[in-house]
Structure 1
Amino acid sequence: MADKQLLPPLGFIAIDVHFHRPPGDAFNESTWPFPLIHIQAEGSSESEVVTKGAYDAALIDRFVEAGLKLAARGCVGIITSCGFLAMAQQELSARLPIPIATSSLLQIPSLLAFLPPGKTIGILTYDDARLGPDHLTKIGLSCGAVSRTRIVGAPANGHLRRLIQHGAPYVHADIEKELVEIARNMVIEYSDIGGILLECTQMPPFAGAIQRAVRLPVYDVYTMGCWFYSGLQRNRPLVWGAVESS
């Protein structure tokens, strides 16, 4: 890939919340191998975005406003700060002038295609009481595809939820232990899981530990964002060498 600073930026629409975001978190500019410009959807909240039902028009408008600002600043595409925003994928892609990938959940159709028919995708989410089939059908999954998913969430009073909801101190080891335990229990409970998808944009720093624990493919917003950007900005890889003359 070309020098990072010479590449066009990817845009990032964040919910209006504030807590520690280490390298690996999708909000952190150092996470990505390309420039990132982030902007907040003013007035949005965790409880407003992390929900079962459809979003109201005012919330969609705030994300559209933020997306238009990112497009005006030269972003070639946009991602967002919460996997639950899969619920807004259709509305936002219809109203923005540049491509948007709202959620790591958008990878599910491809991941299911990679797996044998009898295997499922385990979705490790921020809140399994609120993430459900409506989010998956909103991004085009059929009922048959939805039935090949297994959704398990972080504990309501666990380290990850306290960090995001209440700004609790960030302790990497505590969150890692929590998520690894959930993943281990998930693959024990559902022996048909052939891969894991991390819904939450705060989870990529723990993807490696989760994979070592369960020994399965693990995908998240980082894998989605890198794939998404790779088509938005094509660059000849250095390892290919110079273009051969005819």
Structure 2
Amino acid sequence: MAMSEFTVGVIQLNTNFPRPLGDIGNPETFGSQSIVVKLDLATVADAISTEVIDGPLLDEMVEVALQLEAKGCDLITTSCGFLLPVQSHVQANVTVPFISTSLLLLPFLKTVHSSPNDIGILTFDSRALRPHHFVGHDIGGVVVQGLESDTELYRVISTDERALDEERAAREGTERVTKLIDEFGVRCVIFECTNLSPYKSQVRSATGIAVFDLVDLVAFHRNALKG
């Protein structure tokens, strides 16, 4: 399969905030080889809830996943890193690979690093990220840092603003990762929040550590099929 033939399907939350190049919800992130479908029911507040997603919200995700598969998508993903709890249910209803979140990288990174303290997670809201969002994966020792409080991305996403200061978002993302390095000695970081992805190159350059995100995970699968 040629790379140009690989189509990514994205299940996007019901949001309207900007999605710059590099964001999983921007079709150009994968060179126009993606189909983005916005959910009607699921908002950011629903996705990051401390409650488990089920009922109509989960049903709609499955329905959209089936639509994307019917449209010829070779892989399906989502626009929110809090959606690991829906992984098994959605995957059971489609035949193509389903990657719910970058948090699926955590077991791999814990295996290849000598200590879980080497791993940091930069999340949209550390207060809302609970054990059930990891679906039984051991997160002991992993350091979690959030964007909550006064960051540009947190404000724009939580209030669904139509304007985004990208320079500020990049700077604040870099500051959060630098804090993980300086205070906890992490050697790699997972971006739980998909909206951080447009700034990962800047964060990598500024900090010198490995930064993983959902776009990388999708590309890993896509590149494995490159003929």
Tell me the TM-score normalised to structure 2 length.
0.92
- Residue 239 of structure 1: aligned partner: none
Q: What SS class does the counterpart of residue 195 from structure 2 fall into?
A: coil
Structure 2 residue 211 is the aligned partner of structure 1 residue 223: no
- Residue 181 of structure 2: aligned partner: 187
Structure 2 residue 146 is the aligned partner of structure 1 residue 148: no
Match of 1:96 among 94, 97, 100: 94
- Matched AA of 2:114: P
Q: What SS class does the counterpart of residue 128 from structure 1 fall into?
A: coil
The within-5 A match list for 1:33-48 is 33=31, 35-48=33-46
- Matched AA of 2:167: A
Identify which range, 93-102 or 121-130, moves more after superposition.
93-102
Question: Contact 2:3–2:222 at 8 Å: present in 1 too?
Answer: no
How far did 1:225 drift? Answer: 1.1
- Residue 104 of structure 2: aligned partner: 106
How far did 1:133 drift? Answer: 2.3
How far did 1:175 drift? Answer: 0.6
Q: In 2, Cα distance between the equivalents of 1:75 and 1:149?
A: 34
Question: Contact 2:117–2:142 at 8 Å: present in 1 too?
Answer: no
- Residue 82 of structure 1: aligned partner: 80
Describe the shift of the 1:120–1:3 C-alpha distance in structure 2 as closer, same or farther (beyond 3 A): closer
Unmatched segments (≥5 aa) in structure 1: 237-246
Question: Contact 1:10–1:34 at 8 Å: present in 2 too?
Answer: no
Deviations 1:5-35 (Å, cap 9, x if unpaired)?
xx03111000011011111111111111571
Q: What SS class does the counterpart of residue 60 from structure 1 fall into?
A: helix
Q: In 2, Cα distance between the equivalents of 1:73 and 1:175?
A: 34
- Residue 130 of structure 2: aligned partner: 132
Q: What SS class does the counterpart of residue 203 from structure 1 fall into?
A: helix
Question: Contact 1:122–1:151 at 8 Å: present in 2 too?
Answer: yes
C-alpha RMSD of matched pairs (Å): 1.8
Unmatched segments (≥5 aa) in structure 2: none
Query: Quick check: which has more Rg, 1 or 2?
Result: 1
Identify which range, 90-99 or 67-76, moves more after superposition.
90-99
Q: What SS class does the counterpart of residue 13 from structure 1 fall into?
A: strand
Describe the shift of the 1:99–1:2 C-alpha distance in structure 2 as closer, same or farther (beyond 3 A): closer
Describe the shift of the 1:8–1:27 C-alpha distance in structure 2 as closer, same or farther (beyond 3 A): same
Q: In 1, Cα distance between the equivalents of 2:127 and 2:27?
A: 31
Q: In 2, Cα distance between the equivalents of 1:28 and 1:180?
A: 22
How far did 1:229 drift? Answer: 2.5
Q: What SS class does the counterpart of residue 84 from structure 1 fall into?
A: coil
How far did 1:181 drift? Answer: 1.0
- Residue 235 of structure 1: aligned partner: 226
- Residue 55 of structure 1: aligned partner: 53
Q: In 2, Cα distance between the equivalents of 1:220 and 1:161?
A: 18
Question: Contact 1:8–1:34 at 8 Å: present in 2 too?
Answer: no
Match of 1:197 among 190, 194, 199: 190
Describe the shift of the 1:223–1:3 C-alpha distance in structure 2 as closer, same or farther (beyond 3 A): closer
How far did 1:96 drift? Answer: 2.3
How far did 1:118 drift? Answer: 6.1
